[in-house]
Amino acid sequence: MPNEVRIDKWIWAMRIFKTRTLATEECKKGRVTIGLENPVAAKPSRTIKVGDVVNVKKPPVTYSFRVKALTENRLGAKLVPEYLENITPKEQYDLLDVVRISGFVDRRKGLGRPTKREGRELNRFVEDSYSDFWFMDDDESDMD
């Protein structure tokens, strides 16, 4: 097992990005950082060691992973937990849920009509939002 591995190879091997080219491009764009307290942007050739914390920005969420072991070869999905520990804060996942739901309310132009699934989720969201409100009580309607 190597002592140090290039960060672009490692994040590709851990299946964070689908291709190594994507991993390299994200490093060049500054979306991959190393460090927990004071994150530093990582160039694709930057080497990492066991114990380092790697932060990956996939808007709107920033995922954090602690390096448990190193490899340069792509692994099966079942083996990935042996090589990294996901330490992403729960707030980041909550943000992902908020963005997923708000995507229906503020739909960008050009995305077309919502799919059936998106429509059902939107209806569920709207029903949950208004379930606590009452607009007119039945007793009040009899007063007219």
Which is higher by pLDDT, 110 or 40?
40
pTM: 0.68
Confidence of residue 66 (pLDDT cuts 50, 70, 90): very high
- Distance CA(29)–CA(59), nearest Å, equals 13
pLDDT at 124: 80
Tell me the pLDDT tens digit for each residue of 11-20.
999 999 999 9
Residue 55 sits at the vertex; the CA angle it makes with 51 and 61, to the nearest 5 degrees, is 145
Q: Contact at 8 Å (CB) between 41 and 7?
A: no
DSSP helix/strand/coil, 77? helix
Which is higher by pLDDT, 102 or 98?
98
pLDDT at 55: 95
